Amino acid sequence: MKTIWELLPAYVGGTTDSVVYNAGEGLNDSRHIENPNECSFFRDGEAMTEAAFLERVTSVFRAHKPAHHFRGPNNTVRVALFENNRIIVPSLVDGKVKLTFLDEYTGEEHNVCTAGVVHNTSAKAFKEYLALLASCGFTKLYENEMEENLFAELQKDGVLVECSYYPAEHRARFIADVVSVPVTEFGYMAGNGKNEIYSFSLFHGPMDSGFTCDCGMCYLMKLADNSLLMVDGGELEQITEASTTALWKLMHDITGTPAGGTIRLNWFCTHAHDDHADMFSHMLRTHHDEIALERVFFNYPCPDYCYIAPQLYIMISRVRKYYPNVKYRKIHTGDEFTLGNATFTVLQTHDAGLGSVEDGHFHGMNDTSTMLKISFDGVSFTFLGDLDDSAESLILSHYSAATLKTDGVQGAHHLFNFLNKIYEILDPDFCIVPQNEICRVNNNSKKYQQIVKAVPEENILFDDMGSYGWREENGKLVQFYHEKPIGTVYDGTEL
């Protein structure tokens, strides 16, 4: 596969970066694992007592306290281990070890997206270069302009070329996207119902790995045509019988789908951390025969730049297995498309950092979070994912309040980080924080106060206050639904 500068002619009117960046692989899995079915801790079929099994688990990865383990039917006992970029579940059945790999590793070679950056250029040179591409046989499929930031998508020989220019940086970027459907083919217009947005209450506890989790987020949106969008999903430890039953019921209730009926679903993921994907993966395994998954969109960075949680490969293998024809888009900064009658504006993905942040790309996965604004019925809601301060600086260098102003916002990164400016510029009426309210008390702190600067305290909501729903009323995004919080300490439900 040709890299970006092997596909494109030389850029005129700027300084081309010598680095060809890896921009990620989308819904592909390009891991290369030497011995993919080996586990150095246990052998498949190994005979041992339960005491020896648990002792080894304890010695392997949690020597300072007893290992967390879960019992299944017929007196089996199991744990979960990370090794080799895979998730291995050794269980002890009738005195013998059985190894299960949760992800499906195929070892297939997949194409990755490559990116090139041009420094010290101008809007004029960028536009002239797009004209040059057109004269070389590239077809322009899409263009967009947001506050003088310029975006375009071109296509030639089946390869999409994502082009962007930011005047504040005097920098242009070009990405060969070999994994997506074009942005113009990704969206659709249908329906005249009102859009609704929901935050689903997840259980958060003081971090005790294997039993509780202090992060995770799960949102739903009912679109105008009564299909659903799920945003992210909770961490494994938040997937309990109570929470999955409640979420599945909510999805039926808000769409009026009878038990056993099919739910049309789209999925957007902010970034490649497991607390943002596990609930979705679980739902695919348990309910794929009742879910029509139509679209998936996310933009994860190259796994060499940022560690992608192995759980994400479980999600990828399940999407590919159950929905081989799903429409996938590795959304890019500047994308704008419609689902139902709601407009989705991609304000930033990790590729906006290529060539500009330290060492040419983000190193922390949280900073690679996609910032997505959804506009519907005259109002808007913005997702920040787990965005951190480097990404915040980049966003604020590209956009003003004219673009960023929003009616509702998801508080970034479970309120773990410091975003100094963005909430005031977003100027939302309310903020939902995917975290427990205890943050309000314990974080009598700069973290919580960052949001208080922009939002009245009574309009800052936390997951342990329950699930909420909002829709437009009289030009405002108004809460119309509330359900008490659901959830318990992890009960051993399998991913």
Nearer to Fe ion, 163 or 309 (CB): 309
Nearer to Fe ion, 153 or 386 (CB): 386
CB of 253 to Fe ion, least distance (A): 26
Nearer to Fe ion, 161 or 433 (CB): 433
CB of 239 to Fe ion, least distance (A): 15
* Three-class secondary structure assignment of the chain: CCCHHHHCCCCCCCEECCCCEEEECCCCCCCCCCCCCCCCCCCCCCECCHHHHHHHHHHHHCCCCCCCCEECHHHCEECCEEECCEEEEEEEECCEEEEEECCCCCCCCCCCEEEEEEECCCHHHHHHHHHHHHHCCCEEEEEEEECCEEEEEEEECCEEEEEEEECCCCEEEEEEECCCCCHHHHCEECCCCCCEEEECCCCCCCCECCCECCCCEEEEEECCCCCEEEEEECCHHHCCHHHHHHHHHHHHHHHCCCCCCCEEEEEECCCCCHHHCHHHHHHHHHHHHHEEEEEEECCCCCCCCCCCCCHHHHHHHHHHHHCCCCEEECCCCCCEEEEECEEEEEEECHHHHCCCCHHHCCCCHHHHCCEEEEEECCEEEEECCCCCHHHHHHHHHHCCHHHHCCCEEECHHHHCCCCCCHHHHHCCCEEEECCCCHHHHHCCCHHHHHHHCCCCHHHEEEHHHCEEEEEEECCEEEEEEEECCCCCCCCCCCC
Does 367 interact with Fe ion (rule: CB under 5 A)?
no
Nearer to Fe ion, 263 or 391 (CB): 391
Find the binding residues for Fe ion in span 265-324 (CB under 5 A).
Answer: 275
CB of 397 to Fe ion, least distance (A): 24
Does 215 interact with Fe ion (rule: CB under 5 A)?
yes
Find the binding residues for Fe ion in span 369-388 (CB under 5 A).
Answer: 386
Binding residues for Fe ion, rule CB under 5 A, total 3
Nearer to Fe ion, 187 or 301 (CB): 301
CB of 233 to Fe ion, least distance (A): 11
Binding segment (CB under 5 A) for Fe ion, from list 154-162, 209-217, 277-285, 471-479: 209-217
Binding segment (CB under 5 A) for Fe ion, from list 85-93, 181-189, 213-221, 333-341: 213-221
Does 196 interact with Fe ion (rule: CB under 5 A)?
no
CB of 235 to Fe ion, least distance (A): 8
Nearer to Fe ion, 417 or 479 (CB): 417
Binding segment (CB under 5 A) for Fe ion, from list 21-29, 214-222, 250-258, 474-482: 214-222
Nearer to Fe ion, 345 or 368 (CB): 368
Residues of the shown chain interacting with Fe ion in the complex, contacts defined by CB under 5 A = 215, 275, 386
